[in-house]
Amino acid sequence: VEKITENYNSFKQITPVSDIQEADARNLAIDHCIKKECAYYFNVDSVAHLDNPDVLKLLIAADRGVLAPLLVRTYKAWSNFWGSLNSDGFYARSFDYMDIVNHDKRGIWNVPYITHCYLINGTLLDKLKNGFTDSTLDPDMAFCKQLRSKGIFMFVDNRRDYGHLVDPESFNPFLTNPEIYEVMNNQWDWEQRYLHPNFSKSLQPDSVPLQPCPDVYWFPVMTPRFCKELIEIMEAFGKWSSGSNYDERLNGGYENVPTRDIHMNQVGLEKHWLYILQQYIRPLQERVFLGYYHDPPKSLMNFVVRYKPDEQPFLRPHHDSSTYTINIALNRPKIDYTGGGCHFLRYNCSVTDTKVGWTLMHPGRLTHYHEGLRVTSGTRYIMISFVDP
């Protein structure tokens, strides 16, 4: 707030400790706008993400009394307006709702309910005092009911793409880096933060994947932010395995080739990671290992490995218990650590200059006997999945 107050004529901040109900806070905002003789009242809830920097100018230019930019939860049909009401005044889907949401029809549409983000002409504000208060309705429904009762039309504008809604229901602020957990509920936002900007290029028909060793493919998948935050999640959890053959996390309790690691299911990320494998890793696999299709892919072993000179500096030669394995570099060779890498013995081929967020993909059994090379200083982190064991 301190950084932006100079850009505004005035501001009033209400914090969670203010102990004020939502309807009262919204009414207070209207009253404050009237007191300041606002030309317009612009409401933006925290779930409304405006991606178009010109949205306010465009709404003002449309010259409507109450106008909302169309905002939709990406990849879903949930939006910030209702197309119709039932006899009890609650939601009913209009015949053209999906056409408007999907932008098959574009324009400015008269609707009976809007929420989350809207512009109100200041000349109407005196009529809307205490408009959010109704003991039988949520504040937004009470407000729209008052607009309808006073004959004030509401509109939604989908002439342009203005932004989107986020789904807050699953967001847990008490997690370390909770945005990583949002891949299923807020996938578009997750992709902007964590999916490598060059990921889609690997799926283009004319792209030629890098192959640092025979049948070892290299793809940009995750951003450095993802890698950094995944390391932070694991270190905050802190319960690294002992590196011994005994591992109570596994069926049977025995690990033939143990590492110092933390499994994704220990930090609540197992189902999220399996979704990532299906959405982003599987299409890459189908491009390079022709004729193999398995949707969704299965993986019982998904874990972050930590290599340190005084802890576990290397991993002896082994096969993986997988049809194919992915190995994502989470930090920087020659900067965060020295040494390290993966050596494929049959081909006498090593991958040492790994790239943060890039995944190595290789067969797990029979042909790709490999070892983890010694880390000589620092700490090396990698994310491993044994896919389709």
Say yes or no to pLDDT of 63 above 70: yes
341: left (phi over 0), alpha (psi -120 to 50) or beta: left
- Beta-bridge partner residues of 292: none
> First vs last Cα of the chain: how many Å apart?
52
Q: What is the overall mean pLDDT for the chain? A: 95
173, part of any domain: no
Of the chain, the percentage scoring pLDDT greater than 70 comes to 100
171 found inside a domain: no
What confidence tens digit (pLDDT) does each residue in 139-151 have? 999 999 999 999 9
Cα–Cα dist 162/119, whole Å: 13
* 8 Å CB contact between 285 and 361: yes
Residue 103 shares a structural domain with residue 185: no
Separation CA 202–CA 162 (nearest Å):
29
Burial class, 218, CB count within 10 angstroms (exposed 0-12 / middle 13-18 / buried 19+): buried
Q: Do 183 and 155 lie in a common domain?
A: no
Residue 303 belongs to what domain range?
Answer: 178-387
Question: Taking each helix axis from N to C terminus, what angle separates 139-149 and 22-35, rounded to the nearest 10 degrees?
Answer: 50
Residue 158 shares a structural domain with residue 232: no
pLDDT digit string (tens) for 237-267? 999 998 888 888 877 787 777 899 999 999 9
Q: Do residues 235 and 363 lie in contact, with contact meaning Cβ atoms separated by under 8 Å? A: no
Helix (H, G, I), strand (E, B) or coil at 347: helix
Q: Is the dihedral of CA 176, 180, 182, 186 positive or negative?
A: positive
Closest listed residue to residue 372, CA positions, set 235, 269, 333, 215:
333
> CB neighbours (10 Å) of residue 256?
8
What pTM, to 2 d.p., does this model score? 0.88
- Residues 116, 221, single domain; the answer is no
> Within this chain, do residues 325 and 188 fall inside the same structural domain, yes or no?
yes
108, β-bridge pairs:
157
Both 107 and 182 in a single domain? no
pLDDT digits (tens, 9 = 90+) for 151-188: 999 999 999 999 999 999 999 999 999 999 999 999 99
For residue 27, the cross-strand partners are none
